[in-house]
Amino acid sequence: MQSGSVTVGADEWLGRTGNSWAAEWRRTDRSFGVLTERLLQRTREYRCASVLDIGCGAGELSLAIARGRPKSRVVGVDISPQLVAVARERGSQLGNATFEEADVAAWKPAEPFAPDMLVSRHGVMFFADPVAAFANLHAVAAPEAGLLFSCFRAWEENPAFADVARLLPVPPPPPAANAPGPFGFSDPARVEAILARSGWTGIAFESFDFPMIVGAGEDPVEDACAYFSTIGPAARALRELDEDRRVAFFANLRDLARRNMQEGLVALRAAAWIVTARRG
């Protein structure tokens, strides 16, 4: 296990946040489902024998790649032991996918492994020193390796979070676009500079909007309320509200969910960058 100081918020991923995401992996995979499919489409542009999934979480992208490329070796790395445990359980029947608990910003493979494709679904925005982290990944990668990852675009382009946060009695300020965090890679100029300084070349950006499915099942509206109670920027603020304010918040959230429900699904728009580069 690498030192948690390399990635901002490491203590949270080792504790409460890791527990929440591990318990809610089905909801989070569902919410990112359309984005995952797009990432899988983009991986087909690469020929590769070995894949590294950066910040693999509960393993959805790693496992999908492993199933589609049975002759390729796929290694997923995540700082959260809870999420790695879920990924290992989900992938127990796949011989070509393995998962490691480590801070990928400083990770070195324990045995010879030089990935010729590095991927990530929203797992790269939390590095305390992103230039050093991507330089480390550059050093680990095979010559001419491809890099493919997704990250959120600007806060105001993501109603899935911004619209929900506005329902709080005191809406939080927009997250920083120039510091580690969920929206820390929203500025493409900053991302390009980070990658270029760490040795990556051929950097390109695809703008991709997708419906983030936050509610489904027998009662999609209540399912959406449960989702936002545990995942996203409103979850932490909710823990600080008194009962009256919580009741008012959920009344407004139910109204928002109903306005965004179609065919039994509650979906709010999310906006991402899909970033590609090559090992220079």
**Across the chain, where does the E strand assignment appear?**
50-54, 73-78, 97-101, 117-121, 146-152, 200-215, 261-262, 265-279
User: What pLDDT was estimated at residue 258?
Assistant: 98
The alpha carbon of 25 is separated from its chain's Cα centroid by a whole number of angstroms, namely 12
Q: Which pLDDT band holds residue 2 (cuts at 50, 70, 90)?
A: very low
The β-bridge partners of 137 are none
The β-bridge partners of 201 are 278
In a domain, 95, yes or no: yes
Domain count, the chain: 1
User: What pLDDT was estimated at residue 230?
Assistant: 86
Could you report the per-residue pLDDT of 62-105, keeping only the tens digit for each? 999 999 999 999 999 999 999 999 999 999 999 999 999 999 99
In a domain, 248, yes or no: no
- CATH number of the domain within which 60 lies: 3.40.50.150
In a domain, 235, yes or no: no
Residue 10 pLDDT exceeds 80: no
User: What pLDDT was estimated at residue 22?
Assistant: 80
The whole-chain average pLDDT of the chain stands at: 92
In a domain, 221, yes or no: no
Q: What percent of the chain has pLDDT over 90?
A: 81
Residue 185 pLDDT exceeds 70: yes
In this structure, what DSSP letter does residue 233 have?
A: H
In a domain, 114, yes or no: yes
For residue 96, give every residue at least 6 positions away whose Cβ sits within 8 Å of its Cβ, in sequence order, or none: 66, 69, 70, 71, 72, 73, 74
In a domain, 112, yes or no: yes
Q: Which pLDDT band holds residue 12 (cuts at 50, 70, 90)?
A: low
User: What pLDDT was estimated at residue 172?
Assistant: 81
In a domain, 66, yes or no: yes
Per-residue pLDDT, averaged over 37-51, amounts to 96
Q: What range defines the domain where residue 142 resides?
A: 4-155+176-213+269-279
User: What pLDDT was estimated at residue 18?
Assistant: 60
In a domain, 160, yes or no: no
- 47 or 99, which is more confident: 99
Rg (CA), the chain: 18
Q: Which pLDDT band holds residue 5 (cuts at 50, 70, 90)?
A: very low
Count CA within 13 A, CB hemisphere, residue 191.
28
Residue 252 pLDDT exceeds 60: yes
Per-residue pLDDT, averaged over 219-236, amounts to 89
- The most confident of the ranges 3-17, 94-108, 168-182 is 94-108
